[in-house]
Structure 1
Amino acid sequence: MTTVSSTSTSTAASTGYSALSSSSSGTGIDYSALIEAKVNARLSKADRIDTKITANEAKITAYTDLQDKLQAVNDALDGLRNRSTSTGASSNLFGQRTAYVGDDDVFSATVDDDTEVGTYSVVVQQLATKHKIAADSASSKTDALGYSGSFTLQAADGSAVTISMESDDSLTDLRDAINANKSTSGVTASIVQVSDSSYQLILTSNNTGEAISLTDGGDGVLSSLGLTDSDGAIKNEMVAVQDAIVEVDGVTITRSSNTIDDAIEGVTLNLYSASPDTAISMEVSTDLSAIKSAISSFVDAYNEYRDFVVTQQSTTSDGTASSDATLFSDSLLRQIVRSVNSALNTSITTDDGTVLSMASLGITFNSSNELELDEDTLNSILSTDIDSVKQLLGLNMTSSSSQMSLLRYTSSASALSFSLDIVRGDDGTLTSASVNGDSSLFTVSGNRIIGASGTAYEGIVLVYSGNSGSVDIDFSQGLADKLFGVIDDASATYDSDLATAIDDLETRDTDLESKSNDIKTKAETYRTTLTAYYAKLEAAAEQAALLLKQLTYSDSSSSDS
């Protein structure tokens, strides 16, 4: 009897939670269900927190998608803002130049940014050539030539090197010895197989316009090879050395290279063939194709952003937010949409009174409020009035002095007009720059005039090389520059509205996740405590039941006896 009782108590204590189900419970009470209900009551708070975390994560994903789409719009706009690197842009498409050449089989041209536009007449009279000479033919390139001695060689732009020969050297050995020094001498050697039993050593200058010179060391090696005649002159000249000759607007230019980068400032000519009787027109102008491509990319990127906004505003048939509308009725999204729409409606008035807007570029809204581009309209204004396009889209500064230039502009002001009264001292340095007699609005440093912090001119840095006097300055901010600023404030990777909102949500989720985990940990501890408690109750109940059974059995035995 005692052994049975001990076994029963041990089982109840060791099986714990698993032994508390109604089917195995001695009392018939479903302790597992009771424990689960109590634990779940505590976990329900964690579930509510997890639901908030999931909603926040969905919002973070939506904000990140919006951020990416807005940044794609700004990527397209960046080069259209008429800003240099120093004024906040990665490129300025209005400063990019290209050359349109009438016959690009004769020559092509590359143009530096901000080169003066203009049209030139170019005649390629002669190409520069590499000097090429040959030795007499030899019957083998690997047999010993039988010549011993030395000679020096060099091209005009190289340094003289001495080549020594032994009688057992072959044509191949000679070629290799010359090429081991080609970077110094400026001369490269090769072997041409003329026929099955005829090989020629060819010497070529590394660069065009550079003549090869040879000097024998006194053993007659050069004449034995057939590189020079008995008088020491070049014997077999295959290609005579000559300079390139180009005529630009009637001015004849001679250069040793077929790449000429110093004839027209900012323009590099790449000569391909001579056409001495043909004047070819070359127009240096703004790269209109790059501007057109950027405008087209902007339209596409904006429509991607617009599609995202529409999705976030979509509803089901009963008027509730659709499952994809994570940012439905989101105040930040509404704010961004309003700001973007306002910037898109920017218009400017030119000096002649013409009002320019997005429609002037052929960009209009369709019935879905997406942008559509009319290429014919865009092509027309790009080809006929690029200055108006620049004024409509970009940041523009006009000054009454050609000696005033803009170095930096990070001001948030969309338009500024003011007169600077500039004083230059007797020693030639700038001493002050004032507006309406107030010299505290700008500071001077060398030739720089710097907008003072906390004023409307903060973020402006001008460079002035003129004399004392008054200079009128006007800034206007076009559509692309204004829209870029609005979008950058909303979507920049750091310190923007979206970046701040995402950071706040992530911080909130971190805190919520910590709270949820704490609740779950405490709930599991509670589960363990309850399990142990009910296991003890079950063990006691089983022990009591066993004792009752023993007593009943004892009473029954006594009656029988």
Structure 2
Amino acid sequence: MTTVSSTSSTTAASTGYSALSSTSSGTGIDYSALIEAKVQARLVKADRIDSKITTNEAKVTAYSDLQELLQTVNSSIDGLRNRSTSTGASSNLFGQRAAYIGDDDVFSATVEDGTDTGTYSVTVQQLATKHKIGADAVSSKTDALGQSGSFTLQAADGTAVTISMDSDDSLTDLRDAINEQKSTSGVTASIVQVGDSSYQLILTATNTGNAITLTDGGDGVLSGLGLTDDDGAVKNELVAVQNAIVDIDGVTITRSSNTIEDAIEGVTLNLYTASPDTAVSMEVSTDLSSIKSAITDFVDAYNAYREFVTQQQATTSSGTKSDDATLFADSLLRQITQSVSSMINTTITTDDGDVLSLATLGITFDSSNNLELDEDTLNSVLSSDIDSVQQLLGLNMTSSSSQMSLLRYDASQSSLSFTLDIDVASDGTLNSASVDGDSSLFTVKGNRIVGNEGTAYEGIVLVYSGTSGSVDIDFSQGLADRLYGAISDAADEYDSDLTTAIDDLETQDTTLQSRSDTIRTNAETYRTTLTAYYARLEAAAEQAALLLKQLTYSDDDSDS
């Protein structure tokens, strides 16, 4: 009787998935294809979720790009809003000052922000000098001078120091001894080689306008060195000490330094050359170059933003959205572009009835709604009517009292006019502030007057240091200030519509990714389960086939 081994009965179960292909299967059934089809059916949902994540990620990238472009626009106009740092700006270009000088070879000037503007006539009659005296020349700077004793020296703005000498001290030793105490005395020593074998000690006052004083200690050292004559007077005065003399609008100013900080409030003069016969005109004015630069940067930043918006609205030749138009028909983008467009088309009407707009600055729109700048027009309005530029662009407050100042303005109104009736106690404490008899509109806190929540004055904080009375106040919010607020609402880094949208998408992606990961994990578990199940079926089929073959052999043996 023929015997057939049954060791192959466990082949499918032991080899698992690899034994389930149509070529390996004993039954000829492609179990692997069946398994893959069933697993892929379950992965379809994960694929759809992954596609949604990819779409969201592209949208986050586009929103982030838009946010960055808008923030660049705001950076360019921040200084044009005519706000101080206390009212929310990083700088106020309308408060920055520059000195325009007819002949800047004679002197230059730096001006503090907020300095009163004006024109001055400046004549530099005389420069301040550093007092400089010399000793008698000697043949060597390293040989002993043969002087023994002491002397004191000081500049007028220094303190007297004592210099002691031994007979073997050289000129170099003397120089070093003087310089060790120069920060105290205000006198510096140096050695100048005046000939092939001729060296001279030079004493120089550290600061201009301060005379050097020398006093011998009784041993005749100073006269021995040739610093003083026999009468104790300076023997070799190389540069006489003198103060700077400047005429400003006919008033003579004398200072010990060529840097004069206290003649014109907020202005520092740096004198270079004495020109007693030349009156130089100096105009202290708004720093127009900084304002022009900011306006130019704004045009560039806005056009970069517009290019992005145009790209997001692009369509193909067949009318469908372009592949690059990630935010095509996006409601948030549409909302932002409408808000920005509204703000940038702001017009301001002056008290004289003139209408100010971007065109006032030489800025117009081209056929693609990008901005074009005419520099000639901009230069002209900056030099001739800076007040109109400030009124068009910035936040402007006028008050009938010089004692009223603005601390904060976050009000929703672009223009506001009202009269504050203020009651001040005898000790200067503010009691109340009201409008038309209504004291509920403002809260008084120390010397601050704060607009109450829910009123038209919410977001306004004023500071008042005057007496009881009525103060007329007017606010007008210019184009740059309004645009900055609209963009901040849309694109601020921490609290804005775009930040919220990005956060929401990223949170959604986190949830979706978790769901996708779970589906894929479960699908792989399902694959393992199916593989084991079909492996058992294959093993059973192999066992049945083996049994049938054994039965066939048995029947053949019986017939024989």
User: 1:378 offset after TM fit, Å?
Assistant: 1.6
8 Å Cα contact 2:131-2:211 kept in structure 1: yes
Alignment match, 2:60: 60
Whichever residue aligns with residue 205 of structure 1, its letter is A
Give the aligned residue type for 2:186. Answer: G
Aligned to 1:114: 114
Cα offset for 1:79? 1.1
Residues 239 and 41 (structure 1 numbering): CA distance in 2 closer, same or farther, change over 3 Å? Answer: same
AA aligned opposite 1:305:
Y
Residue aligning to 1:81: 81
Residue in 2 aligned with 1:462? 462
Match of 1:278, SS state, is coil
Q: Distance in 1 between matches of 2:434 and 2:225?
A: 80
2:316 aligns with 316
1:252, distance to aligned residue in structure 2 (A): 0.6
Rate the CA distance shift 1:22–1:138 in 2: closer, same or farther, 3 A: farther
Shift of the 3–347 alpha-carbon distance from structure 1 to 2, 3 Å rule, reads: same
CA distance in 2, matches of 1:271, 1:153: 29
Q: Tell me what 1:424 maps to.
A: 424
What secondary structure is seen at the aligned counterpart in 1 of 2:528? helix
Aligned letter for 1:47? D
Partner of 1:219: 219
Structure 1 unmatched runs, 5+? none
- Judged with a 3 Å threshold, the aligned counterparts in structure 2 of structure 1 residues 231 and 505 are, in CA distance, closer, same or farther, namely same
Indicate yes or no: 2:334 matched with 1:334. yes
Aligned to 2:367: 367
Structure 2 portions without partners, runs of 5+: none
Question: For each residue in 1:97-143, what CA deviation from the matched residue of structure 2 results, as whole angstroms up to 9, or x when unmatched?
Answer: 11110100000111111111111000001111112222222322333
Partner of 2:161 in structure 1?
A: 161
Contact 1:77–1:294 (CA under 8 A) maintained in structure 2? yes
Q: Does 1:301 align with 2:325?
A: no
Q: Map 1:272-311; keep pairs closer than 5 Å.
A: 272-311=272-311
Residue 282 of structure 2 aligns to a residue whose secondary structure is strand
Instruction: Tell me whether 128-137 or 118-127 shows the greater mean CA deviation.
Output: 128-137
Q: Which residue of 2 aligns with 1:69?
A: 69
Q: Distance in 2 between matches of 1:5 and 1:131?
A: 119
Q: Deviations over 1:250-283 (max 9, x none)?
A: 0111111111111001111111111011100001
Identity percentage of aligned residues? 80
Deviation at 1:195, TM superposition (A): 2.6
1:399 equivalent to 2:399? Answer yes
User: 1:42 maps to which residue?
Assistant: 42
2:531 paired residue number:
531
Q: Report the CA distance between 1:298 and its aligned residue.
A: 1.0
**In structure 2, how many angstroms separate the alpha carbons of the residues matched to 1:231 and 1:98?**
53
Per-residue displacement from partner, 1:408-448 (whole Å, max 9, x unpaired)?
21222211111111112222322111111111211223332
* Separation (CA, whole Å) in 2 of partners of 1:169 and 1:9: 114
Give the drift of 1:5: 3.8
User: What is the Cα deviation at residue 287 of structure 1?
Assistant: 1.3
Note the 1:111-510 alignment, pairs <5 A.
111-510=111-510
Report the secondary structure of 1:152's partner residue.
strand
Q: Hey, what's the Cα distance between the residues in 1 that align with 2:147 and 2:210?
A: 28
Quick one: distance in 1 between partners of 2:216 and 2:14?
107
Is the CA contact 1:79–1:89 (under 8 Å) kept in the aligned structure 2? yes
Whole-Å separation in 2 of the counterparts to 1:504 and 1:402: 49
CA drift at 1:300: 1.2
SS in 1 for 2:533: helix
Is the Cα contact below 8 Å between 1:419 and 1:472 reproduced in 2?
yes
Task: Please give the TM-score of this superposition, normalised by the length of structure 1.
Answer: 0.95
- Alpha-carbon deviation of 1:473? 0.9
**Matching of residue 16 in structure 1 with residue 16 in structure 2:** yes
Query: 1:3 offset after TM fit, Å?
Result: 11
Shift of 1:383: 1.6
Cα shift readout 1:341-386 (whole Å, capped 9, x = no counterpart): 1112211111111111221211111111111111222222222211
Q: Quick check: 1:361–1:378 contact (8 Å CA) kept in 2?
A: yes
Per the normalisation by structure 2, the TM-score is 0.95
Indicate how the Cα distance of structure 1 residues 549 and 438 shifts in structure 2: closer, same or farther if over 3 A, else same: same
Give how far 1:462 is off. Answer: 1.6
Contact conserved, 1:31 with 1:534, CA < 8 A, in 2?
Answer: yes
Change (3 A) 1:143 1:532: farther
Query: What secondary structure is seen at the aligned counterpart in 1 of 2:124?
Result: strand
Q: 1:516 to 1:144 in 2, by over 3 A?
A: farther
- CA distance in 2 between partners of 1:529 and 1:169 (Å): 103
CA contact (8 A) 2:4 2:550 kept: no
Give the letter aligned to residue 242 of structure 2: Q
Q: Assess, with a 3 A threshold, how the Cα gap between structure 1 residues 559 and 200 changes in structure 2: closer, same or farther.
A: farther
**1:319–1:146 Cα change, 3 Å:** same
What is the DSSP-based 3-state SS (H/G/I as helix, E as strand, rest coil) of the residue aligned with 1:531?
A: helix
- Structure 1 position 554, deviation (Å): 5.5
Q: Kindly tell me: are residues 26 and 162 of structure 1, through their superposed partners in 2, closer, same or farther at Cα, counting changes over 3 Å?
A: farther
Which amino acid is the alignment partner of residue 93 of structure 2? L
TM-align CA RMSD: 2.1
Moved more, 9-18 or 467-476: 9-18
Q: Is the 8 A contact 1:88 1:410 kept in 2?
A: no
Contact 2:178/2:189, CA 8 A, preserved across alignment: yes
Q: Cα distance, 1:2 vs. partner?
A: 9.6
The farther-off stretch of 525-534 and 300-309 is 525-534
